[in-house]
Amino acid sequence: MLTEKNILLTLTYLVGLGELALAVFFWVTNSKNEIRRVMSLFAFSTGSWCVFSAMSSYTSENTLTFFYTNLSYGFAVLALASLVHVVLIYPYPLYKLDFRHLLLYYSLICVFLVSCFVPGLLIEGFAGNDHIVGIITYGPFGVIYNLFLSILYIFALGLLFYRKNKLNGQHKVNANIFLWSIFFGGIPALILDLIIPVFFKGLIPNVLFANIATSIWLIVTTYIVLKK
């Protein structure tokens, strides 16, 4: 039966698989190039977030549901972390990012990744729903997690806004396009995945739409990187 949910699930899977294919493309074409390596991570984590969000959206409350949900939350952290990394090095590194800086940065990210899989820490409960998605009950780490992701997103926006004013010519044009893609691609996810579940408990947001909308920033970023 063709329903709204089935259509959204199909689109989410297609978007996710397309992003995973992009990850492979960036890695095999020139993995020695830093921006392509980071874009590969960005595409992989965003694609995985889409796929696991879809996989957790139509199952009942059980161990597997929690596992898929935790994976989607973990990859969401990695997606935003790699987005910030992309902004830092596009079209050229803003700061000297040596191994120690990157190790410190991604070590902090790993702390939040691990928190996604500690039982009851991030997610306490998951109530299945046949219409669109389940309702998630956050644990004690939920507010910190959502705040951290919001900070990463706002920081990426602010940093790119700052950077575009320092660029000229085609680089500035591309940075402007990149900025708007992050804004329009990220706002649905910020509202549906973070704000509504925290401040409007019990309301079921259409997070599958957020997965699809977020692909905007990856598509546009890919175009800009390939033009570079």
Domain segments of the chain: what residues? 4-227
Least confident stretch, 74-88, 98-112, 145-159, 173-187: 173-187
Least confident stretch, 40-49, 108-117, 193-202, 218-227: 193-202
* Amino acid found at 221: T
pLDDT greater than 80 at residue 175: yes
Would you say 69 and 115 are in contact if contact means Cβ atoms under 8 Å apart?
A: no
Residue for token pair 């033009």:
227
Which is nearest to 226 in space by CA: 174, 176, 167?
A: 174
Distance between CA atoms of residues 217 and 151, nearest Å: 17
CATH architecture of the domain with residue range 4-227: Up-down Bundle (1.20)
Q: Which pLDDT score is estimated for 215?
A: 76
Distance between CA atoms of residues 161 and 188, nearest Å: 20
The mean predicted confidence, pLDDT, of the chain is: 81
At 93, the pLDDT band (50, 70, 90 cuts) reads: confident
Distances, alpha carbon 71 to alpha carbons 35, 45, 80, 98, 167, in Å: 25, 10, 14, 29, 37
Distance between CA atoms of residues 216 and 200, nearest Å: 26
pTM of the model: 0.86
CA 205 and chain centroid, separation: 17
Q: Which pLDDT score is estimated for 95?
A: 75
pLDDT greater than 80 at residue 203: no
Distance between CA atoms of residues 73 and 124, nearest Å: 13
Strand, helix or coil for residue 127: strand
